[in-house]
Structure 1
Amino acid sequence: MRMQVLVRLKSGVLDVQGKAVEHALASIGFQDISEVRVGRLVELEVEAGDEAAARQRVIEICEKLLVNSIIENFELRRI
């Protein structure tokens, strides 16, 4: 089962990469763009009996490796 994890900084955490992209966009004429946030997308193939089991497995992976729960949130979806 193919799963996708979107990892983003929590709303109160300064997104340095997002600010850099926002500044670069403004410098090339896109001054109307603001509040840019940068995250990462991870896709996984999970062998599981059903979607619930696959989701639980990916949540475990996120909690142990992919996500720093102090500063990041994540969303899962099946693709």
Structure 2
Amino acid sequence: MILSDVNRYLRDRGRANTSDIALHFGIAPTAVEGMLQTLQERGRVRALPTQTSPCGTSCCNCSSSACASQMWEAIKKH
């Protein structure tokens, strides 16, 4: 898998969190994080602000992997 695969995945979906991307490609979230950082530096994706849950933390302490990972968004090129 290469950066263009991750970039295409995000473009197709619009938004996804690190855990979902890692699961889709069958790799560790830490590997995806490095790729996303590179794509962010190149202006292809951006990290979305962390949402605060009702309890006042960035993680809602549920069993969902979505709570514990950064959400990313593809940047539309005009």
Report the TM-score, using the length of structure 2 for normalisation. 0.25
Higher relative contact order (CA 8 A, sep 6+): 1
Which structure's CA Rg is the greater one? Answer: 1
Report the TM-score, using the length of structure 1 for normalisation. 0.25
